[in-house]
Amino acid sequence: MTILSSLSPRSLAAPESGIVELVNYARGRDGLIPLWVGEGDLPTPDFISQAAQESLRAGETFYTWQRGIPPLREALSRYYQRHFAKTLSPDNFYVTGSGMQAIKLAIEAVTSPGDEMVFLSPAWPNFAASAELSGVRAVAVPLNFEDGKWQIDIGRLEAAITPKTRALFVNTPSNPTGWTASHEDLKAILALARKRGLWIMADEIYALYYYNGVRAPSFLDVMEADERILFVNSFSKNWSMTGWRAGWIVAPPEIGQVLENLIQYSTSGVAQFIQAGAVAALDRGDAFVAENVAKATRSRDLFCDALIATNRVETLKPDGAIYAFLKIDGVTDARRAALDIVDKTGVGLAPGTAFGEGGSLFMRACFLRDPRQIAAAAERLAGYIAAL
């Protein structure tokens, strides 16, 4: 037995990310316009970094609250009041070391090995991979794609539920499709979860990146107090903090001690200076988020309009999130096409093959960048498509 083969089958089965494969292939090339990962082109604003620096200078370098420092949980409560008109207590919030960790902890909290978790596909690959790593079968339910638009089929979702299903994982607005659940969709999913006794894991991290109103419809709008819903969230996208690794969970206070224990036995809490930065982001960052959303709106329009004009790309402008998910006429192998596109045009895209069932013919582009760069990327891609 080799050292490698003596590892657990579960860890050996964890897939390599199909997005990272592309990044590793062409990282740092001259003239590259990287649209492959889900982040903007701006560093974190100064007022957030300064708050973290002040915390470090003040000697806040010790172990701290497992659930998150009280000022951060209070700031989260104010944030939800402002953006969701929802009164939540600091006891509803649990600070995590990223949105990714929030997802992992939510799965740990709700499922046991052998259970099933149903999710909508195409999807960010980490939902399914982290469930599988916990011994949970991730069951994909494809969204419908018609005339460039993605839609949920509630009947199909219900048909995927078995006696082993413990949770429905719902990401809206969705990475990568931009599909955004309407209030009717959310009510139908919630009714289904109640009827079948399931948890909902709600990933609404892109709620403020919404192009048909102030923010996307949320389960918070349609739920009663203390339902079986775990919201996973992140500081990454709203405040350009992808490198900070900070997120949070919204949960019923009744399960607080269990979540605290799970945090204890994974990271034992998030560094206090990171949390100090997060407080500044929440309390003083609304204008920055609005700028990010305005930039995404402009870049989305530029990018999608230019590609739709080729008449070779099937897509509508997404309702939410920060991605265009493009079906390019003539592309039959998205992974090979992404390698070819980055070689020939210097535009880095994520291949739809990385997003599972229903995504294999698509390419994902993150448009949260300077509109001039986005226009240049669209022009290069349009040239590539014309030559196909």
Ligand X SMILES: Cc1ncc(COP(=O)(O)O)c(C=O)c1O
Q: How far is the CB of 126 from ligand X (least distance, A)?
A: 7
* Residue closest to ligand X when measured from CB atoms: 99
- CA 266 – CA 243 distance, rounded (Å): 19
* Cβ closest to ligand X, residue 125 vs residue 385: 125
Say whether residue 203 binds ligand X (CB under 6 A): yes
Among 66, 121, 172, 175, binds ligand X (CB under 6 A): 175
Say whether residue 171 binds ligand X (CB under 6 A): yes
Q: Where does this chain touch ligand X (CB under 6 A) — which range of 54-62, 92-100, 104-112, 336-344?
A: 92-100
* Cβ closest to ligand X, residue 334 vs residue 354: 354
Among 93, 124, 248, 325, binds ligand X (CB under 6 A): 124
Say whether residue 100 binds ligand X (CB under 6 A): yes
Among 98, 240, 272, 315, binds ligand X (CB under 6 A): 98
- Phi, psi angle pair for 4, to nearest 5°: -65, -50
Q: How many residues bind ligand X (CB under 6 A)?
A: 13
Cα 336 to Cα 161, 242, 331: the distances in Å are 34, 28, 9
Among 205, 223, 230, 278, binds ligand X (CB under 6 A): 205
Cβ-Cβ contacts under 8 Å for 94 (sequence gap 6 or more): 67, 68, 105, 248, 249, 251, 256, 259, 260, 263
- What is the CA 19 to chain-centroid distance, rounded? 14
* Cβ closest to ligand X, residue 19 vs residue 361: 19
Contact between residue 150 and residue 179 where contact means Cβ atoms under 8 Å apart:
yes
Q: Where does this chain touch ligand X (CB under 6 A) — which range of 97-105, 131-139, 192-200, 345-353?
A: 97-105
Residue whose C-alpha is closest to residue 227's, from 260, 258, 194:
194
Say whether residue 234 binds ligand X (CB under 6 A): yes
Q: How far is the CB of 3 from ligand X (least distance, A)?
A: 29
Residue whose C-alpha is closest to residue 364's, from 372, 373, 354:
354
* Cβ closest to ligand X, residue 34 vs residue 99: 99
Q: Other C-beta atoms within 10 Å of 98: how many?
A: 21
* Cβ closest to ligand X, residue 84 vs residue 384: 84
Q: Provide DSSP, 97-120.
A: SSHHHHHHHHHHHH--TT-EEEEE
Say whether residue 142 binds ligand X (CB under 6 A): no
* Cβ closest to ligand X, residue 165 vs residue 236: 236
Contact between residue 249 and residue 112 where contact means Cβ atoms under 8 Å apart:
no
Contact between residue 148 and residue 316 where contact means Cβ atoms under 8 Å apart:
yes
Three-state DSSP class for residue 329: coil
Say whether residue 218 binds ligand X (CB under 6 A): no
Q: How far is the CB of 35 from ligand X (least distance, A)?
A: 13
Q: Considering only residues 8-67, where is the footprint of ligand X by CB under 6 A?
A: 38
Q: Provide DSSP, 350-374.
A: EEGGGG-TT-TTEEEEE--S-HHHH
* Cβ closest to ligand X, residue 223 vs residue 232: 232
Three-state DSSP class for residue 33: strand
Could you list the residues that contact ligand X (CB under 6 A)? 38, 98-100, 124, 171, 175, 203, 205, 234, 236, 242, 247
